[in-house]
Each structure stands twice: as C-alpha cells, then as structure tokens.
Chain A
Amino acid sequence: MTQTLTILGLESSCDDTAVGVVRQTGGELPEILASVVYGQAELHSAYGGIVPEIAARAHAEKLDLCVVEALRDAALTLGDIDAIAVTAGPGLIGGVLSGVMCAKGISAATGLPLIGVNHLAGHALTPRLTDAIAYPYLMLLVSGGHCQFLQVNGPDAFTRLGGTIDDAPGEAFDKSARLLGLTQPGGPAIENEARQGDPKRFRFPRPLLDRDDCNLSFSGLKTALLRQRDQIIAVKGGLTQKDRADICAGFQQAVVDVLSKKTQRGIRIYLRDNPAVPSFAVAGGVAANTAIRRGLETVCAENGVAFHAPPLALCTDNGAMIAYAGLELFKAGHRDGLDLMARPRWPLDKTSPAILGSGKKGAKA
C-alpha cells in the first residue's frame, strides 16, 4: 500500500512567522501544498537588529492565523492533516514557545501526533524536499546565527565536520551593513554594493585558513571592516559611494574565499565515506548570495560532487521545511508528547564536542 502523508509545519524561532503544508505519497518527490511566511523586518528596523521580545509578541498573535491561511492555500482542513510539526528550537525562546504552545493546542484538540523539529534540521533536510538527494550528503548550513558543515546521514543523524567559533557569516553581513549605513538584512545590501565595487582595493583577513579543519571565524573580519572604515573616515571625514562599494566587495570576497576553501576541506572528509552519489548542498539565508553560491559551485565541480542549492524562498526560514523534516521524522516513528520542551539551544550533532557556547545554557553548536 502506498502511504500518503500530509504534514503541517509551524516555524517561529526568529523573525518570520511561517506555516507550511507538505505532502508525500510513497517515495515520490514531496509536494509543498502551502507555504505562508510573514516577516517582521519593519518591526525591528529601528533597533538595528532583531529584538526578541518584539519578535515573540508578533508570533503569539500571528501563528494561528498563519495556520488558517496555509490550510486555505492548500485547500485542506485539519482533518486532512496527519501530524503537526513545530520548531522546538534552537532559536529565540519566546517565539519558539509560542509556536510550540500553538502546536500543542492544535494537537490536543485534534488528536493529531505532535513532532518537535530542530530548526536546523529543517534547513539541513531542505535539499531532500527540493531535490530528493540521497543520504549521506555534505551540507553547509548558513542560517542566521549558525554556520556549520554537516554530514547528513539521516533525518536525525548529523555529523558536524566543523563550524564557526564566533559569528556566523549572516551576523557578519548584518553587523557590517550596519557599520556602513546600509539597510537590514545586511546580506542583500552588501551584495548589491559589492557588485559595483573593486574586491582588490582593500585586503581583508581570511581567518583560520591556515588550520586544516572545517572551523570558521568571522568576527575578526567584521572588526577589520570597522578599522578600514574608520581609517578612511579619519582621512576624508566620511565615505564616498566608491569607498563603500569597494569595502563591500573586499569583505564579500573574503567570505567567499573562506567558505570555498573550507568547503573544499569538508568535501575531502566527506568523500572518505565513499558516498554512492556524492552531493553537496548549501542552505540558509547566506546561500542566497550569488557570489558565495558561485564560489561553492566551482569547488564542487572541481571535486566531482553534485551541487544543490534550494530556491531562495526555501533557504530562508519557512514552515514547509519544518513540515518536511516532521514528515521524515514521522516516517521514522518519531512522536512527541504534550510536554514537548522548547529549547533555546539544541545542537544537531549530539556527540561531537562543543565548539561554540557553554555553561548553563549548554552548547550552541
């Protein structure tokens, strides 16, 4: 008998309130029946970053409405759904809690199974949702505050090959954009500037390239950008459009070089396992940057590894990826109780030693 599964997915771990519906019949390519995303950019723009309390307030009054909208888009009712998947972490805990409680309410009311999904697993499994790529594959996950290389062996089996020891590139882009008076989110703003800039005029550091591993560091790069900016301002009293474009181009080139080089190392480690269909995928908001994508594509082509990058709308936060991750977990027999816990930190790789974060809150990655 061929089984058809339809999963509802709720996501509220950062500044997007999102709900998706995904359906899969047997081993066919899964289908996204709805994906509703409400961003909060305008709520946070005055503060130069996401304010957790403001984000949580917006999620709490939007999530159920998003569920209604997604079901309407999919032309379904809750009676057509097989399970409720929800991001249970990691992320801004106020928003995660709102999502988890809303999902628990729907689950209790309907009797539908509840599945807590790791937000990062949502991103990491997206290449299977869009391209049906086979396990194991190598993944560069660059979502918000996260940046790590993962070997994805199954829906709940991840090996971390390396990751950032401080900032993620997404944070570096946002902070750098702020230092240059550009709009948020910083990624698209810097990419846009960089297009007109000369990447060779300013030389920015490539941290940790001397280390033969997959770990990365981006906070020094941001500081170098601040120094370069202040040097120019000290001389001229401000920046010209060209100065700014050149800084952006140099900064972006440094990020491209670091990510490309470390991807090369990740591929080398991954290929030791002799995967049948060597595949690399990049997901997360930073994967939307064309220069970064091109750099990674080149490395993959040179190493005979298939390159996958899900479409932009599925690289940024969305509910469809949570629904899909929930679908894989559901098929693997995973269920959660109504005591499901929301977790601000939740490393995907449960065995590798922590490289970032410690103390009471535990490891971040």
Chain B
Amino acid sequence: MTLLPNPLILAFDTSGKWCVAALLSGTRVLAEQVEEMTKGQAERLMPMLTEMLDGAGVTWADLAAIGVGTGPGNFTGIRIAVSAARGLALGLNIPAIGITACEARAFQAPSGACSAIPAPRDMVYLCRHEAPNAPPELMPHGQAQAFAAGKGLSLIAENSPQGLAEAIARIAAKRWQVPQPAPAPLYARAADAAPSRHTAPTMLD
C-alpha cells in the first residue's frame, strides 16, 4: 500500500446527546458536523457520514482509517458508534482506531486542566491523565473537583460535542499506521445486574 501524503481519516462519536463527525485530510479538517439529539443516533449516524463524504467529494474507498469515540458515555451510544466503526473497518479493510472520551477531552483541554466526563446523577468519570492506562473512575462531581484542586488543576467536566470529532480524528491520525486492537466500548462501570432472587429448593436425596 502506498501512503498518500494526506491520508483521509473519518472520525465520529455518539457517546452523548449528539451525533458528531469530522473528516481530516493530513492536518486539514475538510468537514465537521455536529448534530445535537437525545435519541435517533442509530438512524442518523450513517446517513450523516455519507453526506459528509459526498460533500467533500470523496468516497468510502478513499479513507485510510476510521477514528471512533469509545466513551465513557451513554452505554447504548458508545455501542452504536463502535459497532458501526467495526463494520466499516471490516468492509473497507482499513483500521478503526478507538479513542476514549478522556483522550479526546485531554486533547481539547487547555494545559493546567484535568478533565472528567459527566455521568448521570451528578457523578463524573474522572480521567487519570497522569496514568494514561488507568481506567476513568466514577465518582461524585465534588470529589473530582477536590481531586483536581489538590493537584493545582482546574476540573473541566464539559459535555459539549463541539470539537469532539476533530479531536478524535487528530488523535487517530497519529496512531493509525501502528497496529491497534479493534475499538471496544469503554464502559468504566459494570452492567447493572442482580443475582437471581429465586432460591433453589432443598433436595432431600
């Protein structure tokens, strides 16, 4: 395979109340789209990507790699994007690179900031930038603020979709030529499931 001077990277994310995508050619953003929505990401994502490629005058076959946001975030949302990315990677025979929300937010954040991903019920997933391999930790918002303050950092628990896809694309652009594991959702929290409440009867023999 010959490496084009400006490889095309398509990145997208549906980890929150949005559908976002960006198309990167080398270091240049050819297109970026942000659509806010509370539901309907599964129906909207693929037509939106098709429109973006059409608008930029390129085809699926021109892509060098896919970048996808893997969360943490809405469980169903991160599965929507990751499943689509894996299907695309398989069909195009190109790599799909999973980028965590922490990586993307760190890329977006100014220096001197510590990022966290908002979660329901006033909780956040605190990103551990000092330990990049450590999974984000779910904790109350206040606790995360105290943690950041203790390190002399400001906490950014922003949940805006603006710039998110571009960040994912730019990080993916740095990684795609090195073999990566298939993207997988980063849930950072176990599934809610209670063990069976039915007790088996005592057997007498």
Contacts and interface: CB of A to CB of B under 8 A. Distances in A.
Interface stretch (B86-94, B129-137, B140-148, B163-171): B86-94
Contacts of A60: 79, 82-83, 184-185
B118 to A, nearest CB: 20
Interface residues of A, number: 51
Nearest to A175: B198
A180 B199 CA distance: 9
Interface in A46-105: 46-49, 51, 53-54, 56-57, 60-61, 63-64, 67-68, 78, 93-94, 97-105
B205 A103 contact: no
A293 interface: no
B83 A47 contact: no
B91 A78 contact: yes
Contacts of A233: 201-202
Contact of B91 (A108, A339, A340): A108
A240 interface: yes
B90 A57 contact: no
Interface string A171-198: 0000000111100000000000000000
Contact of B79 (A94, A103, A236, A244): A94
Contact of B75 (A49, A56, A63): A56
Contact of A64 (B90, B192, B195): B90
Contact of B83 (A101, A236, A239): A101
B76 interface: yes
A355 to B, nearest CB: 28
A240 B204 contact: yes
A97 B47 contact: no
Contact of B193 (A54, A236, A342): A54
Contact of A236 (B89, B92, B204): B204
B191 A106 contact: no
Contacts, number: 150
Contact of B44 (A51, A67, A102, A339): A339
A290 interface: no
A233 B204 CA distance: 10
Contacts of A78: 90-91
Interface in A288-343: 337-342
Nearest to B49: A108
Given A105-B85, A108-B60, A68 B185 contact: no
Interface residues of B, number: 43
A276 interface: no
A239 B201 contact: yes
A102 B86 contact: yes
Contact of A47 (B42, B193, B201): B193
B187 interface: yes
B50 interface: yes
Nearest to A51: B193
A341 B84 CA distance: 14
Contacts of B203: 181, 238-241, 244
Contacts of A4: none
A346 to B, nearest CB: 15
B86 A57 contact: no
B29 interface: no
Contact of B201 (A238, A339, A341): A238
A168 B74 CA distance: 32
A49 B46 CA distance: 33
B83 A63 contact: yes
Contacts of A239: 201-204
B90 A109 contact: yes
A52 to B, nearest CB: 9
A291 to B, nearest CB: 23
Nearest to A226: B198
A101 B201 contact: no
Contacts of B198: 48, 178-179
A237 interface: yes
A180 B201 contact: yes
B8 to A, nearest CB: 14
A364 interface: no
21 contacts: A53-B191, A56-B75, A61-B182, A63-B83, A78-B91, A94-B79, A97-B83, A103-B87, A104-B84, A105-B85, A105-B88, A107-B91, A108-B87, A109-B92, A110-B91, A233-B201, A237-B202, A240-B204, A338-B50, A339-B44, A339-B47
> 5 closest A-B pairs (Cβ-Cβ)?
A105-B87, A48-B196, A109-B91, A181-B200, A238-B202
Interface of A: 46-49, 51, 53-54, 56-57, 60-61, 63-64, 67-68, 78, 93-94, 97-110, 178-181, 229, 233, 236-241, 244, 337-342
Given A97-B79, A236-B204, A339-B44, 13 more contacts: A47-B195, A48-B197, A53-B193, A57-B191, A60-B82, A61-B182, A61-B184, A64-B86, A64-B90, A64-B182, A102-B86, A104-B84, A339-B43
